[in-house]
Chain A
């Protein structure tokens, strides 16, 4: 019998320390399931995420990158996520312009109370990226060790 190997994507989730990271924690304490493909990187604010971080994640083997921050208006630093939103809108639009699948990048607002939303978002994102398959257009072969 042949065992079919299922593609397991690597997802990098940048989570803001004040909302989304706590949201991820809450989904854990609530025993809500989300796939182990998601690797969370804690950042002080969604605004901390440099476009280079996103590209670098793809370089190092991510198949999808999601940025989670506080809801607009709820930023711990008052306005950080507004700036992040503009930056990511332009960056994602540019990735699309260069022909990289637009479903591989996502921006989502998850508050500390939204454990369920965090789990649902991650389940949905992992499913989307699994359907897309491996990231070929932004990979760096030298990083495939």
Chain B
């Protein structure tokens, strides 16, 4: 797949169709890739990579990149096309400046999960179908790919490309993956248990803002969390209030725009399951206002910029589950 993508990038660049290519570049470690704008064929041949760790959602970088002159080509996995479509809908990306190449994805890997399976000293990982050959300093090991998938990919919502100019591979379909199961399990707990659960998770937050910076829906030029007059600009949270305040507001600001791509949880250095907060909002929207998938339909009105005269009251929403 990597060679196919390299060839596609090279041919687009050589034909003069695009001036730049946005793709994944080798990072410091093999599992740590970085989004990069390639400008020359030499650079592409040297460091463009695509494998199980090419997880970054590239659509967000187009917001800044399309401010520059010239066309840019971008490689988008199915879930990235949802974010891309949502950004197009919000007029954050001029469509005519982007050449979107849809690429297939069968799930991205999570290095922490592989490590948790007891593998230490990993030097490289090779994918053989549904098995992974893991080279470690203690010798060759194999793991099932299904045991190494990132959480968001285990519950993949869709393999369908929403918007693209050309497609490598074949068109996929939206999946029914039970992605709300974890949210439901939490809902069933008592408020005390839920509070304890979130306290345990959110108290690890170091307020690095990575979740905000990586989120394709968070594209404001000026962010409320950067405002020194807001009273909440402090670094690491000092109290249970700050922990929750940041995460509630972060998730609330992307309600109806969050496509559930899972970037927030992926980039979290403290492995906080932030996507569960976003998913709770998505689940509520689906239950209260009808099924809505951000980025799917560019003509649909977002749930929070829309209303119905017979919408439920907050008190009714609580009664619903009882």
Contacts and interface: CB of A to CB of B under 8 A. Distances in A.
B258 interface: no
B-side interface mostly: helix
A86 B317 CA distance: 11
Given A87-B304, A98-B244, A51 B239 contact: no
Interface string B300-311: 000111111101
A105 B314 contact: yes
Interface in B178-204: 183, 186-187, 191-199
A-side interface mostly: helix
A140 interface: yes
B239 A98 contact: no
A141 to B, nearest CB: 5
Contacts of B194: 97-99
A96 to B, nearest CB: 7
A114 interface: no
B61 interface: no
B271 interface: no
Interface in A43-78: 51-52, 55-56, 58-59, 72-73
Contact of B255 (A55, A59, A90, A141): A90
Contacts of B249: 51-52, 55
Contacts of A98: 194-195, 198, 244, 248, 277
A94 interface: yes
B252 A91 contact: yes
A138 B244 contact: yes
A82 interface: yes
B277 A107 contact: no
Interface in A85-119: 85-102, 105-107
Contacts of B191: 96, 99-102
Contact of A90 (B244, B285, B305, B306): B285
Nearest to A85: B311
A93 B313 CA distance: 11
A99 B195 contact: yes
Contacts of A107: 313-315
Interface in B285-308: 285, 288-289, 303-308
A140 B243 CA distance: 10
B137 interface: no
A98 B191 CA distance: 8
A82 B307 contact: yes
A139 to B, nearest CB: 6
Nearest to A89: B314
B29 interface: no
B187, B241, B281, B303: which has the most chain A beta carbons within 10 Å? Answer: B241
A33 interface: no
B265 to A, nearest CB: 16
Contacts of A106: 314-315
> What 7 A-B pairs are tightest by C-beta distance, nearest first?
A99-B195, A82-B307, A99-B194, A140-B241, A92-B314, A89-B314, A140-B239
15 contacts: A52-B245, A82-B307, A82-B311, A86-B303, A87-B304, A89-B314, A94-B252, A94-B281, A98-B198, A98-B277, A99-B193, A102-B191, A139-B240, A140-B242, A142-B239
Given A89-B313, A89-B314, 9 more contacts: A51-B248, A52-B249, A55-B241, A83-B307, A92-B314, A97-B194, A99-B198, A99-B199, A106-B315
